[in-house]
Structure 1
Amino acid sequence: MTKAEPSLSEQQQIRKSKLEQLRELDINPYPYEYDVTHTSKDILENEETLIAGEPEGAERVSVAGRVMTRRIMGKASFFTLQDSGGIIQIYIRRDDVGTEEYNTVFKKLTDIGDFIGIRGFVFKTRTGETTIHAEEFEFLGKTLRPIPTPKEVETEEGETKTFDAFSDKEMRYRQRYVDLIVNPDVKDAFIKRTHMVQSMREFMNERGYLEVETPILQPIYGGASARPFKTHLNALDIDLYLRIANELYLKRLIVGGFDGVYEFSKDFRNEGLSRFHNPEFTQVELYVAWKDYNWMMSFMENMIEHVALKLHGSTSVTVGEHEIDFKAPWPRIPMYEAIEKETGHDLSGKSESEIRNIAKDLHIEVDKSMGKGKLIDEIFGETVEPKLIQPTFITDYPVEMSPLAKKHRSKEGLVERFEAICNGKEIANAFTELNDPVDQRERFEEQARLRAGGDEEAMTVDEDFLRAIEYGMPPTAGIGIGIDRLAMIMTDSDSIRDVLFFPQMKPEG
């Protein structure tokens, strides 16, 4: 054994020594390719066909994956192999694969977690377990760190206890690659998330809307109220911002003549982390000309009903202790009405100071930088939003809260906006889009005043966007749907980190 490296654990030192021994045997521990004909799932789903004529007439299969368990029994052994399709048992004999391959490479130099390839035929053991009888064995990848392997131990009291399980939440988020290896059920949530996005994309494509891409690096950030991440472009010596939304660019495309455009976008907001917030998140934004927010409500509830049916075969989805039903239509409740029902306070027509006092009476923390819109948002977020479990449209927001939404056609002081709330959190935000350039400039200037007063999340004036809508934008409905939060609901996940492969974390140590 070579001299131990101080930074390596005993297990790592042993594995590194085995790596060197493989090379001494002229075995490449990291070969370039391997011909895989079947996954474990393929074999288990087609076992009857594959077993027919075993062994002489049986179809030969070639599989590759990680060694997860081993039972060494002299001249023959059993082990399990895990691949992308699941786990399957392998039977291996010295007489089939060769003395050196079996006695040295397999028994002495192979560890749990190593990648190997097997060629052979499928059969069933006396206990009825579908198994591959190995005729050829090939080493495909040496692991230098041990894979966490849970062990079940029966106590004197007859209870079964599990040790060494990779269950610590923080470790699982930090080392998602290990989490996926030893907790394969974790994959299910991410597979469902992908299918969810695919079904939404199909729904929009079938209606003729065009998927597009817009800039992530933007000279002026806009489309939402949030603090941005800032960077610098050396080539032009200018500051740029990671987008907080893609709304204003998609509207430029509506100005340019597209009837319907959408984008699944990575957006970035320099805000806190929580169960429901990650600084980097995904949303889909859709803008459709000639439509309004009433049309968009119907569109969204039908699309999410479609998603639930695709993923679960039902409009009902179990989320924690709740059964959430996405069957359309969803309730539609004006914002002031929802607040009054929960608090007894009618905020319509109230001044900023009156609303500030109501917030204080409700023991809601506010500060001097908050304008009327932010105060109302805080009251709604504290008193109403957490109680909305079934999907609900909250409609008709105060104009102060919505600088990009069109004024309500019949209700003074309000705009045509809705948020979709589900499981106590917003999952979508939508407007009848503001297309009056004079009104839009006034709204931007009011945001600039709020910003000067200390509101770091207020919007900035985007002169190019104003120039775009001065060329004329048709009546338009727009929506942004939070993919991460919707995925949490569709996969019954308690934290946004459970639906992100690599969530943002504090630095280790």
Structure 2
Amino acid sequence: MPNQGKELNQVMKLKLQRIKELEEMGLEPYGRKYDKKNNIIDIMDMFEEEKEVVVKTAGRIMAYRRQGKASFGHVEDTTGKIQYYIRKDEVGEDAYEIYKKMAVGDFIGIEGILFKTHTGEITIRIQNFELLSKNMRPLPEKFHGLTDVETRYRQRYVDLIMNREVKETFLVRSKVINYIRKYLEKRNFLEVETPMLHPVAGGATAKPFITYHNTLDMELYLRIAPELYLKRLVVGGYERVFEINRNFRNEGMSTRHNPEFTMMELYQAYADYNDMMNLTEEMVSNLVKDMFGKESIEYEGVEINFGKAWKRITMIDAVKEYTGVDFNVIKTQEEAKKAAEELGIEIEEKMSYFKILNEIFEERVEKKLIQPTFITEYPKELSPLSKSKKDSDEFVDRFELFMYGREIGNAYSELNDPIEQKKRFMAQLSEREGGDDEAHMMDDDFVQALEYGMPPTGGLGIGIDRLVMLLTNASSIRDVIFFPHMRKK
């Protein structure tokens, strides 16, 4: 687009000329502290018909209409947008000459009196103003806005300027995190911080990012989960801990996956996965009601009800309900493989019986779990950190929470038997040596921690990004992360 580039250069040259002219007038195009007294959202409620109300605010000019000796415009801050009106004979000729050198995108501080125009719009009649920062690069066209998705993600700062609903999405995100933090603190959970650089990658089945520490002369791994460190704190005597943390996984990217993402993880001594189910249902249901004043929200045209009792069903029963395949009857790997192939699912020759069960669940069941649903009783083979189900050597006390076909949370009764934990790690190590680079590494120090004794404990992780996606009707995880990762241009 050579013409567009030429036009951009011309506009920027004009803006640079305006900056030079302001400097020649003895002004700072990039101002200093401004005593902003009123947010725009508050100003809208301050207007009184019979009273002169003086306000002082600041923000970015988003509309600029100069008409001879008087001008209208709009200024916007984080809270909202308001119209202003400025007259040459009221601010003075010198001040108006400065104003004439301003434009859309500039930051301005304004002080004036509120009035209503003949169309009923609350407006600030400017008495004094101050240039706070000159814009040098033009904003996207007024009527076309910033619509290119890739540009929006790469230049989030422009996206936030042009699209107010994007600002609202991230305000909701902040409120969600704040609500969860306060909810847990009220229940005596202690917020903690654990390392981001791990000598051993663990706490989840995932491929880590690898880095290197020069002084220690050793490889380190960016955290894939904080689990093993949080459980060390339970060993140390903290009975309720949580962390709202960044995790990093060197895996594929999609509308639901970003290489770094935010999780809330908590651990509660003397609890189990049933307690975690109850806590999750209560916390998220109350969060929705608190934020929206109702128990249901609409996501991509589908109503999701958080008020009704959430469905709880085992993985085997869910597979049977949604596919007709009954793993209570199917007992061998060969039978499982045949059942999967009849459903049109390709199965690798070496895939185990329980991995086939999980594959069928992921391929044919997950997407049908629209309303909040707890899937319970996962195979032990897939859950190396979970306590075995009582009277079962094949399944564990674990659940995953699904909404709109997406995993939102994961929890279990934590394995606190150091002998069994070491066996599980050894089995994972064998898988890793067999080529599975997502399998857990052997963490001798964690086993040693368990040898000192960890009480029965329930643990829970909730994906903040995916939860916010639901609550803001966002179709991609990139819409709820300020600066998602992108390929190089």
Per the normalisation by structure 1, the TM-score is: 0.92
Query: Structure 1 residues 454, 350: closer, same or farther in 2, change over 3 A?
Result: farther
CA positional deviation for 1:344: 2.5
**Aligned with 2:207: secondary structure?**
coil
Q: Distance in 2 between matches of 1:354 and 1:233?
A: 49
CA positional deviation for 1:371: 4.5
Does residue 63 of structure 1 match 2:57? yes
Amino acid at match of 2:12: Q
Residue in structure 2 matching 1:100, options 94, 107, 110: 94
Q: Distance in 2 between matches of 1:167 and 1:429?
A: 35
In the TM superposition, what whole-angstrom CA distance separates every residue of 1:27-73 from its partner, at most 9, and x where no partner exists?
Answer: 1001121111112111102222xx6433xxx4x32111111112222
Amino acid at match of 2:157: Y
Residue in structure 1 matching 2:51, options 36, 44, 53: 53
**Aligned with 1:188: secondary structure?**
helix
Where does residue 83 of structure 2 map in the other structure? 89
- Structure 2 gap ranges (5+): none
Q: CA RMSD in A?
A: 1.7
In the TM superposition, what whole-angstrom CA distance separates every residue of 1:190-241 from its partner, at most 9, and x where no partner exists?
Answer: 1111111111111111111111000000000111000000111112111100
Q: Distance in 2 between matches of 1:191 and 1:39?
A: 16
Does residue 408 of structure 1 match 2:389? yes
Structure 2 matches for 1:85-164, cutoff 5 A? 85-102=79-96, 104-107=97-100, 109-151=101-143, 164=144
Where does residue 233 of structure 1 map in the other structure? 213
Where does residue 167 of structure 2 map in the other structure? 187
CA positional deviation for 1:110: 1.0
CA positional deviation for 1:352: 4.0
CA positional deviation for 1:78: 0.9
In the TM superposition, what whole-angstrom CA distance separates every residue of 1:396-454 from its partner, at most 9, and x where no partner exists?
Answer: 01111100000101344110000111110110010011011111111111111111111
Where does residue 43 of structure 2 map in the other structure? 43
**Aligned with 2:374: secondary structure?**
strand
Q: Percent identity?
A: 48
The answer to whether the 8 A contact 1:227-1:270 is kept is yes
CA positional deviation for 1:328: 5.0
Q: Distance in 2 between matches of 1:499 and 1:395?
A: 29
Structure 2 matches for 1:318-357, cutoff 5 A? 318-327=298-307, 329-348=309-328, 350-357=331-338
CA positional deviation for 1:485: 0.6
Where does residue 440 of structure 2 map in the other structure? 459
**Aligned with 2:164: secondary structure?**
coil
Per the normalisation by structure 2, the TM-score is: 0.95
Q: Distance in 1 between matches of 2:332 and 2:230?
A: 34
Q: Distance in 1 between matches of 2:368 and 2:182?
A: 32
Q: Distance in 1 between matches of 2:262 and 2:334?
A: 36
Query: Structure 1 residues 319, 6: closer, same or farther in 2, change over 3 A?
Result: closer
The answer to whether the 8 A contact 1:305-1:328 is kept is no
Query: Structure 1 residues 372, 451: closer, same or farther in 2, change over 3 A?
Result: farther
Query: Structure 1 residues 190, 252: closer, same or farther in 2, change over 3 A?
Result: same
Amino acid at match of 1:420: L
Where does residue 209 of structure 1 map in the other structure? 189
In the TM superposition, what whole-angstrom CA distance separates every residue of 1:361-387 from its partner, at most 9, and x where no partner exists?
Answer: 322244457555443322211111000
Does residue 171 of structure 1 match 2:163? no
The answer to whether the 8 A contact 1:301-1:327 is kept is no
CA positional deviation for 1:460: 0.7
**Aligned with 2:169: secondary structure?**
helix
Query: Structure 1 residues 6, 169: closer, same or farther in 2, change over 3 A?
Result: closer
CA positional deviation for 1:20: 1.1
Where does residue 33 of structure 1 map in the other structure? 33
Amino acid at match of 1:211: E
Q: Distance in 2 between matches of 1:100 and 1:356?
A: 83
Residue in structure 2 matching 1:286, options 245, 263, 266: 266
CA positional deviation for 1:7: 11
**Aligned with 2:44: secondary structure?**
helix
Q: Distance in 1 between matches of 2:165 and 2:449?
A: 48
Q: Distance in 2 between matches of 1:131 and 1:413?
A: 69
Q: Distance in 2 between matches of 1:359 and 1:138?
A: 70
Amino acid at match of 2:51: G
Amino acid at match of 1:32: R
Where does residue 254 of structure 1 map in the other structure? 234
Structure 2 matches for 1:420-435, cutoff 5 A? 420-435=401-416
Query: Structure 1 residues 465, 351: closer, same or farther in 2, change over 3 A?
Result: farther
Query: Structure 1 residues 449, 360: closer, same or farther in 2, change over 3 A?
Result: farther
The answer to whether the 8 A contact 1:302-1:328 is kept is no
Q: How many residues get paired?
A: 484
Q: Distance in 1 between matches of 2:211 and 2:461?
A: 25
**Aligned with 1:122: secondary structure?**
strand
Q: Distance in 2 between matches of 1:33 and 1:14?
A: 27
Where does residue 279 of structure 2 map in the other structure? 299
Query: Structure 1 residues 91, 180: closer, same or farther in 2, change over 3 A?
Result: same
**Aligned with 2:381: secondary structure?**
helix
Where does residue 159 of structure 1 map in the other structure? none
Q: Distance in 2 between matches of 1:345 and 1:118?
A: 69
In the TM superposition, what whole-angstrom CA distance separates every residue of 1:466-506 from its partner, at most 9, and x where no partner exists?
Answer: 00001111100001101001111111111111111111111
Query: Structure 1 residues 369, 19: closer, same or farther in 2, change over 3 A?
Result: farther
Where does residue 12 of structure 2 map in the other structure? 12
Q: Distance in 2 between matches of 1:150 and 1:79?
A: 14
Q: Distance in 2 between matches of 1:368 and 1:249?
A: 36
The answer to whether the 8 A contact 2:380-2:393 is kept is no
CA positional deviation for 1:359: 2.9
In the TM superposition, what whole-angstrom CA distance separates every residue of 1:150-181 from its partner, at most 9, and x where no partner exists?
Answer: 23xxxxxxxxxxxx221111111111111111
Where does residue 66 of structure 2 map in the other structure? 72
Amino acid at match of 2:299: V
Stretch moving more, 403-412 or 302-311: 403-412
Query: Structure 1 residues 467, 134: closer, same or farther in 2, change over 3 A?
Result: same
Stretch moving more, 355-364 or 226-235: 355-364
